Amino acid sequence: MVFSDLFFLFVFLPSVACCYLLAYLADTQWLSKGQLKKSFTLRNAVLVLFSLLFYAWGEPVYVLLMLICVALTYLCGRLMAWKPTTHQLGLVLGLIVNIGILSIFKYTGMLVETLNQLGLHVPDPKISLPIGISFYVFQSISYLVDVYRGDNPVQKNFGRLLLYISMFPQLIAGPIVRYGRVAEELEDRHVTQQDLAEGIQRFLMGLGKKVILANQFSELAGQFMHATVGDAPTVAGAWMGVIAFSLQIYFDFSGYSDMAIGIGRCLGFHFNENFNHPYICTSITDFWRRWHISLCSFFRDYVYIPLGGNRRHQVLNICVVWFLTGLWHGADWTFAMWGIYFALVVLFEKYFYLKKIQPHLWRPLQHVYALMIVIIGRVLFYFDDLDQVFAFYKVLFGGAIGFDFIAESGWWNNFWLWIIGIVLCLPVGEWLSKLNTRVFGKVPVLAVSAETIFKIAFGIMVIVLSVALLVGATNNAFIYTRF
């Protein structure tokens, strides 16, 4: 089940809302003095139940795997808190369990395939990849490490830990939520009218990104990327395909993050931001401060800094982190090459570009440089076969110059899609907010009214267009669910 599915929008989500509201009413008890005492037992139980149902909808068998992962993480956390002599043991066992589960189910196939290519003839166990395993394993690891460091107390209630790891808004595609971010809200949270309004608005924004933009760019990317490999059209066609894919993956993943954050907000949880207009970056270092922020901060805090960070072996640490980042995205050597590619770029920037070139470079050229590096790297992200990667690069940098008929029609037939997609990569919301304040700033009531009317009209437009596009849609999966 995905967020941009008619069943989710009109059956699952309303069912969650109704049951959660009933649980809220049942949890609320009046004391003798007339004060309101709130218990979250039923509300949490409702969220856990629907989260397990949400996950089981696609792969029922792997719900058991996730429950085993959570149970072992819980036991390792309790072991850390048992007595000082078992503190480190609990962390080590927890890391072995979680990394072991991730390695077995995600990387066994890659290892077997590599060994077979070397001529060892190892039988393939045919282990399929559970949806979202990279996300819930990383959340388990962050919980264990934060407890070990003393940043958060151990969670003694298994149900709350299960809710933290399995919560359906962020379960299968993030953002990767730190335990400390929601620890208090697992026990005590409040939903205001502002939370509901902003949560619904954020969800609709994400829905529009996914259905109205990402799905359309997905069709363009498939048309041009695969045509380039098979039919070898012009350079224009190749660039059009990889730019379409770059826009697709941004609107797809940032849209999912927006929907996850919006649903969480409506339930009283405040998840961390995951994107900050990454395509306005002026360097690759800047880009990775803006793209998939929760993953980048995870590798920084739990891998890069423990390895020594900037203090020692910095070059090696950067290479290790980016190699692991590539493998996290997929069990294939193209992803490993993607990680190495960005490691080399980051090292180039750290020791040369940021110090000697960028300060003297015209700002628009800084954007062009950063976007070119990102777009070229998307090729490694798209194909899972190195032969296809090299074939595409050959066309991208050495194909026939000019527009072919397919490329020309792909541009003009989707002219407004290209324009809207490019414009919405910019911080348009911030600009409109500033414009509204400037125009109606002297009359706050008008400013609030104008903003409210715009948000309502925007929400209605997104719902109508999204439902119309989803009826009969065949290409609606989120890219990051496969990680």
Contacts of residue 161, Cβ cutoff 8 Å, sequence gap at least 6: 70, 73, 74, 77, 143, 155
Provide the pLDDT confidence category of residue 31 given band limits of 50, 70 and 90.
very low
- Residue 75, phi-psi category: left (phi > 0), alpha (psi -120 to 50), beta (remainder): alpha
Catalytic residue among 270, 329, 360, 367: 329
- pLDDT per position as a tens digit, 81-119: 888 888 899 999 999 999 999 999 999 888 888 888 888
Averaged pLDDT for residues 370-385: 91
In this structure, of 46-55, 115-124, 187-196, 223-232, the range with the lowest mean pLDDT score is 223-232
**Do residues 421 and 247 lie in contact, with contact meaning Cβ atoms separated by under 8 Å?**
yes
Cα(423)–Cα(66) distance, rounded to whole angstroms?
Answer: 40
Q: What angle do CA 7, 9, 15 make, to 5 degrees?
A: 85
Using the predicted structure, report yes or no on whether residue 416 has a pLDDT greater than 50: yes
Q: What pLDDT is attached to residue 4?
A: 82
In sequence order, the 6+-apart residues with CB closer than 8 A to the CB of 98 are 69, 72, 73, 137, 140, 141, 144
pLDDT greater at residue 39 or residue 149: 149
Highest mean pLDDT among 55-64, 212-221, 367-376: 367-376
pLDDT for 18: 93
The mean of the pLDDT values for the chain is: 86
Could you tell me which residue, 325 or 225, shows the higher pLDDT? 325
Q: What is the pLDDT of residues 395-409, one digit of tens each?
A: 888 765 655 666 667
Residues near 421 by beta carbon (within 8 Å), at least 6 away in sequence? 213, 217, 247, 251
Where residue 444 falls among pLDDT bands split at 50, 70, 90? low
Please state the rounded mean pLDDT for residues 295-321: 92
DSSP 36: E
Per-residue pLDDT reduced to its tens digit, 330-358: 888 889 999 999 999 999 999 998 888 88
Q: Stretch 260-275: mean pLDDT, rounded?
A: 92
Give me the mean pLDDT over the 20-33 stretch: 71
Report how far apart, in Å, the C-alpha atoms of 97 and of each of 231, 325, 446, 483 are. Answer: 47, 20, 57, 19
pLDDT at res. 443? 61
The torsion angle over the Cα atoms of residues 80, 135, 44 and 40, rounded to 10 degrees, is 60
Q: Give 238's pLDDT tier (boundaries 50, 70, 90).
A: confident
Would you state the pLDDT for residue 110?
Answer: 87
For 37, the enclosing helix (H) or strand (E) is strand 36-38
Q: How far apart are CA 287 and CA 159, in angstroms?
A: 37
| Assigned token pair, 89 | 């043991």
Is residue 329 flagged as an active site residue? yes
What kind and span of H or E run contains 145? Answer: helix 133-149
What is the pLDDT at residue 15? 95
Q: Quick one: what percent of the chain has pLDDT higher than 90?
A: 47
pLDDT in the model for residue 33: 47
**364 upstream amide cis, omega within 30 of 0:** no
Q: By mean pLDDT, which of 14-23, 276-285, 293-302, 440-449 is the weakest?
A: 440-449
pLDDT band of 48, cuts 50, 70, 90: very high
CA distance 261 to 271: 6
Q: What is the pTM of this model?
A: 0.90
pLDDT for 470: 85
Which has the closest alpha carbon to 298: 150, 167, 107, 141? Answer: 141
For residue 390, the model assigns a pLDDT of: 87
Residue 316: its pLDDT value, please? 94
182's CB contacts (< 8 A; 6+ apart) are: 164, 269, 270, 271
Per-residue pLDDT band at 456 (split at 50, 70, 90): confident
